[in-house]
Structure 1
Amino acid sequence: MMLFSSMKTPPDILCLYGARALRGFGDGFAIIILPVYLSAIGFSPQQIGIVASASLLGTAALTLIVGFIAPRYELRSLFLAGAGLIAFTGLIFPAAQTIAPVLLVAFIGSINPSAGDLGMLVPLEHALLTKETADRDRTGVFARYSLIGSLTAAVGSLAAALPEILASNGWPKLGAIKLMFYGYAALGLLAVFLYRRLPRDHSHVANVPKAALGPSRNIVYRLAALFSLDAFAGGFVVQSLLALWLFQRFNLSLQAASLYFFCSSLLGAFSFPVAAWLAKRIGLINTMVFTHIPSSLCLIAAAFSSSLTVVLSLLLVRSALSQMDVPTRSSYVMAVVTPAERTAAASVTAVPRSLASSISPAIAGFMLAGPFSGLPLVVCGCLKIGYDLALLRMFRHTKPPEEIA
């Protein structure tokens, strides 16, 4: 599959790969310790779902703003602002103890309760990766970018067991969890160091387009609508709530949960090069659809199983399939718009995802407290299958340049 080719990788892309690794590691443990921390300070499942929604809603708002202002500002400055926000979030979150400040920090901060790569930095990185990559190599570059993020997220999942280990050695558990948030802040400062290495000549201020979206507006809006359905579905089983479901239904320990999410992230990571290889043979849209549907069926089946072994097996199979649309989706969006529209297109297709996914965790929180706690998994699976069929019907004839050639 030659995921890592022998060609020399440009320094700018290496910086982005490094920053993606730092964010992946931080998200890997943050999505697990977030519900544990909120439960430890007395939050109910419903309140945790509302916090997850607030986080996704704030992410959507910031991503939309960045996508439209990016052509008017130096990208390096925006990258540094995003890394600074990560550091700020890690420092402030441990001080929040009641619902109001927690919601505020979740809304304006960078902690992501979902396994997906969300936030203001994503459209900026996607645009820069595409700018420096040939069409034939684009999907492979996005696969490497996603692979790095998932591998480091897997390691971060293992790190989520640290509070429990420290607690068994005499540390106060709440204090150990807060220490992880400070580690999250340190990752933001390391990302600042990497982004500072980007040259200043990536600013597009001198060539600001009259409109952020032009000839590709219709296709971007249609993709955004479909992606929002997919994200709304995914919001029912964001990783923090999936962890909470496993904790409640099977009394899973924090160490066992961190091991599961490590394996899950690992399987998702190694699916990215497979997705790049598959896309060259059957196309980007077909790769997205025909790997997604089986993963949704596994999720639905897991909701009805009473065996922890069966549930974890089904969820791991889902992890091996469900993430193949990550690099292919990013590559497809960048391929079907003009270069001047790439940052806005990445933002406009990402923001509805965040907005839609910000609604469903709050609903899922109430479902988890209901008589059938697996209902969020069923709803998620059914909606995702509907999204896949609609995507195939609407875009199977809209080809990226490399498939037309």
Structure 2
Amino acid sequence: MSSEPQPSLLCRLLSSTGLQALYQIGLDAHLIILSRSSRMLAYGGSSLILALFFSSLHVPDARIGLFMTLTLAGDVALSLGLALIADRVGRRRILKTGSVLMILSGVVFALCENYWVLLGAAILGVISATGGDFGPFRAIEESVVSGLAKKEERTDVLVWCELKPAGTSEGDEERRPLLNESQNDDSSSSGKHYKSWISRISRETLSIMSILWFLLMVDSLADGMANMSLTSYYLDQKFSLLKSVLGNIVSTSYLLAAVATIFASPLSRALGLVNTMVFTHIPSSAAVLLFPLPRGVVITFALLLVRMGLNNMDQAPRAALIAATVRPDERTAVMGITGMLRTLASTTGPIITGVLAEGGNFWAAFVVAGALRLAYDVGLFAMFINIKLHKDEEDESS
């Protein structure tokens, strides 16, 4: 009677945290994750100071919200267009072009204080007004990583791809070669005639994704109303904290989010993708709802930690759920449209919060946002708990 040797504790740890899958996936995915972490480092810094920056320029609260809304609205067209042509033009070229625009936009912000000039730079340069990963990058990156990863390891790898809060807390100093020139410039659709986005997606996929898109738009509206830039501004107004203290609070919450995100993969294996998304998101949503109630900094900070610590644990399972639900040749378009709709829904959030803040009801934005997030959680669980994977999923690696 033979018995197989049990894997060591280190091997089990590497497997459960996704590090083994991350190591095996290859250099291209490593570069994408490094690039994304660097980008989120910049987004995290801008989310802390953007609203405070405009406040120091004596811009009214309503116009601060308008700036964020218009920035997100401008990203909608850019994200959709670039995501849908990425497979024809080349994903690497799209990412390089976006990176150059981001650099130029940063130069404009460093040298100019005109509201409308900064607005144009934020739109074209994909400056994150909310701290979230909006713009054309995310859909392309998730599509590439999903294609590179094995089916059973996709969630593990996407967890590390989604580990953006780590980039907002501290930077990495790593050196990597450039992406292989020919790796992602060609795809199964490169030689085909361009089709409209709706014709690229099957009716079966549309019937499923239309429900998920609606729920994600509700969640994104809530996120837009209580994004980290507006949250930092609210904390500054309510408690008049030193900017260094405020920065430490936000950075600590980002760091906690990074650590918690690592556990999304083992949780999704134990609970399932939908259960992980719902049961980690509900406490975060409740923390948003209760955020305005405490009068002291300590309890408010504790609620922020609960919100941020659990907020991102649903993102990698969500990307894995979408990737497993649609056909492989639909992924880039579906993820691009998903990102576009989420951004579109987010556009109305900041301006609503700006109007509420100017009327002395800043607190109400968090109450409404928390209620909307809870509605998303309930709807997601009710509609997708018994979702089935696409039949082509099993053959995608062959």
For this structure pair, what is the TM-score category when the shorter chain's length is used for normalisation?
Answer: 0.7 to 0.9
Q: Does the CA-based 8 Å contact 1:151-1:266 persist in structure 2?
A: yes
| Aligned-partner residue type, residue 131 of structure 1 | G
Q: Distance in 2 between matches of 1:195 and 1:97?
A: 37
2:46 match: 30
Give the CA deviation at 1:113: 2.1
1:369 match: 358
Q: Distance in 2 between matches of 1:399 and 1:271?
A: 27
Q: Which of these residues, 200, 213, 217, is aligned with residue 212 of structure 1?
A: 200
Give the CA deviation at 1:194: 6.7
2:170 match: 155
TM-score, normalized by length of structure 1?
0.86
1:15 match: 31
2:379 match: 390
1:65 match: 81
1:83 match: 99
1:180 match: none
Provide the aligned C-alpha RMSD in A: 2.3
Most deviating of 353-362 and 314-323: 314-323
Q: Distance in 2 between matches of 1:206 and 1:271?
A: 42
1:112 match: 128
Give the CA deviation at 1:320: 1.3
1:200 match: 182
1:122 match: 138
What CA deviation, in whole Å up to 9, does each residue of 1:239-291 have, x standing for no partner? 11111101111102211111111111111111212111111111111111111
Give the CA deviation at 1:115: 3.2
Pair 235,287 (structure 1): closer, same or farther in 2 beyond 3 Å: same
Give the CA deviation at 1:236: 0.8
1:231 match: 220
Identity %: 28
Is 1:247 the counterpart of 2:236? The answer is yes
1:4 match: 19
Q: Does the CA-based 8 Å contact 2:108-2:118 persist in structure 1?
A: no
Q: Distance in 1 between matches of 2:149 and 2:180?
A: 16
Is 1:92 the counterpart of 2:108? The answer is yes
Q: Distance in 2 between matches of 1:77 and 1:194?
A: 18
Q: Which of these residues, 345, 350, 370, is aligned with residue 381 of structure 1?
A: 370
What CA deviation, in whole Å up to 9, does each residue of 1:310-351 have, x standing for no partner? 111111111111211111111111111111111111111111
Q: Distance in 2 between matches of 1:337 and 1:89?
A: 35
Pair 35,195 (structure 1): closer, same or farther in 2 beyond 3 Å: farther
Q: Distance in 2 between matches of 1:198 and 1:36?
A: 41
Q: Distance in 1 between matches of 2:350 and 2:227?
A: 7
Q: Distance in 1 between matches of 2:61 and 2:112?
A: 18
What CA deviation, in whole Å up to 9, does each residue of 1:102-140 have, x standing for no partner? 222222221112232221111110111011111110111
Q: Distance in 1 between matches of 2:101 and 2:328?
A: 28
2:68 match: 52
Q: Distance in 2 between matches of 1:140 and 1:15?
A: 16
Q: Does the CA-based 8 Å contact 2:79-2:339 persist in structure 1?
A: yes
Give the CA deviation at 1:195: 8.9
Most deviating of 114-123 and 256-265: 114-123
Q: Distance in 2 between matches of 1:392 and 1:195?
A: 42
TM-score, normalized by length of structure 2?
0.87
Question: What secondary structure is seen at the aligned counterpart in 1 of 2:24?
Answer: coil
2:6 match: none
| Aligned-partner residue type, residue 198 of structure 1 | N
Q: Which of these residues, 265, 281, 305, is aligned with residue 294 of structure 2?
A: 305
Give the CA deviation at 1:382: 0.2
Is 1:40 the counterpart of 2:56? The answer is yes
Give the CA deviation at 1:196: 4.5
Q: Distance in 2 between matches of 1:297 and 1:195?
A: 44
Q: Distance in 2 between matches of 1:273 and 1:320?
A: 11
1:284 match: 273
Structure 1 unmatched runs, 5+: 157-186
